[in-house]
Structure 1
């Protein structure tokens, strides 16, 4: 059975193309007043009542019969048990993915450095891992073991001493794959908490949940809103919007492959965005036909159809150079260069979270096991943001050591600039170190 879809068709040659593209890309993740107030109330309760508030909210929102906070803590032995409860194929897949993610992120580690100037001044940078990181993982029937690997492994590679994971278990549903992934990734402590209350607990600490330095991981609107409110108290990774894929194709890839690549993001949720850009109008027609042919075969056909029809597009461009211009304008989370020579076009790409090179490199490989992180900037933020990585779990401290001679020379410069800003104490602090002609006589 073939169905017709209403996916938008745009042409970059149209005079109002820019306006239509802006409308297509527009997305605001806005918490309404009710959500915002509810999150603030939850954060306040957790700060004031600690564990008791966590137990109360878990009972109310997740339907979990917890008598005390001890019922919401999973020990290391429980994570190890999960490894025995998944299939051998699942365990091998998790271990393969974890190995590849770890190997890739090992290359991101930054080291401290120093250099000495001729007058003895030493300048440098000291790189230090965070003490403790918090990882939020969606729970229940949703299974995101890949997110556990992508968030926990870079933290561990960075040298974070303790990774604390929170994962809700609505109605007591525990996902063994998620716990197994936590075991393999080296997560240190797990609390079966979710929602804004879990974020508040990580940010401020309770009697049982330790306060962390940074919170990472995806969540619903309550989690995202809570992360916004606790930012500053702790660091956060990002406030992620819906998933996105942009495929740039020269018209020579199997249209069924491209349609399924678009589906791979559209199936996340109705607000996900899947866009194809090509200079070949006939190819766009073939992909549209593939979408109609393949959509009825998908388990999440309803979600895909709403995503494709609501926020998807097939865009015709003049040539491949214009395709690059459109790609940079969109600054997508995931960019597939499904072309004959992707390396030739790579220098033209300035803005993208992750770039998938060639016809055989599907975005799905990056989601699970290629190695690079799948936590990526969305909603055009790839213009100024990067994928989650080891560097997100490391701090940099500047190092400055001045010899007596250097302090004297730099002091003269600092004095002039400080007095120009009318900051006399700054100036005099520097001037005290300026050597005089007769010093030591």
Structure 2
């Protein structure tokens, strides 16, 4: 079951705390050479390489890389009413929450005739990746597409791996949700090849290069994203999912156990971490964790994840130390289930998304909360944010000075340009006043 990290009676330094953080044994750099080869194949051979890669990695050769519009429409027609209703409600919630992430334009008046405007300009074209693998992720279609639409992106392409169980088509639920959202540029391609195709384009299927690539994936997708930076923007190098729960003895042990298992269900490398100041509560959680892990559908996968080095039970002296550990861990998902959640929340600096109270489980955020579930993993929340409308926006400054305003700051420009030995900079200003 969960291994124990006992911090009681200690006060590690920030560096010491980082060293104690459990992590999965994954190394994106180890996949770089393989990802580079795959991307180079796509750059040289286009659609033929993507079809070969589908056959090699996904066990099936699609009839074509570009998904026909008729296939998207048919998938939407065949979508069950229950899933369609759930998708529509999720889209509405994510759209409303994403709209709040779009900054408003600002104008700063620095003096008479001296104005700097700040606007947020969407990228024109993006490539959104929806993984296949152990599960189907229609929710990831929503979480990628909706913020891009809210941001004002005009051209959206979507990729998902071909499925051997569907004769080389992408999963029909993925196709249906794409159609529901009005996305008609969809490709049956996966892994590092898909990321390379987005970055460099594939002329023989009409795939134009994109300005930003987003979406989760495996270690090869993460490696490919690292490789294409500089050619296109990316959201993050997403890895295995993680959850960290801060709980005291007021929490419900069964709820906490269920939440830890919900993320372990994703992947054998998923991290499930409980941080508590109550050994008695921890014992109750472990009991329920074992029972639930053995009873759930993906029991083998769950047990592998919670017994792995990336998962742990962390015992602390108090909730202040719990928050310190959480900040060092930088969880993708953080749950706070304590008597005074606001006090603990005030101490949290690093987290992808935070779920407060016993009726705010991570599963809520995965689907229907309205928040986005594409979040920084592997500790990246210490310096990165989750996917949002802002991901697809670039701040631009617009400078408007008239003659009088420029004359006022001319001595400043002259002094600084002279100090930097760039006299032509100053001369570009004084030239305007020499007539």
TM-score relative to the length of structure 1: 0.91
- How far, CA to CA, are the matches of 1:107 and 1:333 in structure 2? 21
Look up the match of 2:296: 298
Label 1:221 to 1:325 Cα distance change in 2 as closer, same or farther (>3 A): closer
Instruction: Give deviations 1:92-149, integer Å, cap 9, x for gaps.
Output: 1111111111111011122333233332111111221111110111136630111111
SS at match of 1:232: coil
Gaps of 5+ in 1: none
Look up the match of 1:131: 124
Alpha-carbon distance, 1:29 to partner: 4.0
Look up the match of 2:110: 117
Label 1:426 to 1:159 Cα distance change in 2 as closer, same or farther (>3 A): same
Aligned counterpart in structure 2 of residue 30 of structure 1, from 14, 17, 27: 27
Instruction: Give deviations 1:211-240, integer Å, cap 9, x for gaps.
Output: 111011112222221111111100001002
- How far, CA to CA, are the matches of 2:329 and 2:58 in structure 1? 38
1:218 aligns with 2:213: no
Look up the match of 1:203: 199
Look up the match of 2:226: 228
Label 1:114 to 1:74 Cα distance change in 2 as closer, same or farther (>3 A): same
Aligned counterpart in structure 1 of residue 4 of structure 2, from 9, 12, 25: 9
Alpha-carbon distance, 1:16 to partner: 8.8
Alpha-carbon distance, 1:309 to partner: 1.6
1:152 aligns with 2:145: yes
Q: Is this contact kept in 2: 1:336–1:363, CA < 8 A?
A: yes
Aligned counterpart in structure 1 of residue 161 of structure 2, from 160, 168, 183: 168
SS at match of 1:187: coil
Q: Is this contact kept in 1: 2:242–2:377, CA < 8 A?
A: yes
Aligned residues: 427
Q: Is this contact kept in 1: 2:191–2:221, CA < 8 A?
A: yes
Q: Is this contact kept in 1: 2:169–2:188, CA < 8 A?
A: no
Look up the match of 2:423: 424
Q: Give the stretch that moved more between structures: 158-167 or 173-182.
A: 173-182
SS at match of 1:211: coil
TM-score relative to the length of structure 2: 0.92
1:374 aligns with 2:373: yes
Q: Give the stretch that moved more between structures: 14-23 or 79-88.
A: 14-23
Alpha-carbon distance, 1:392 to partner: 0.6
Label 1:411 to 1:330 Cα distance change in 2 as closer, same or farther (>3 A): same
Higher-Rg member (1/2) = 1
1:85 aligns with 2:81: no
Alpha-carbon distance, 1:27 to partner: 4.8
Q: Give the stretch that moved more between structures: 180-189 or 223-232.
A: 180-189
- How far, CA to CA, are the matches of 1:81 and 1:90 in structure 2? 15
Look up the match of 1:253: 251
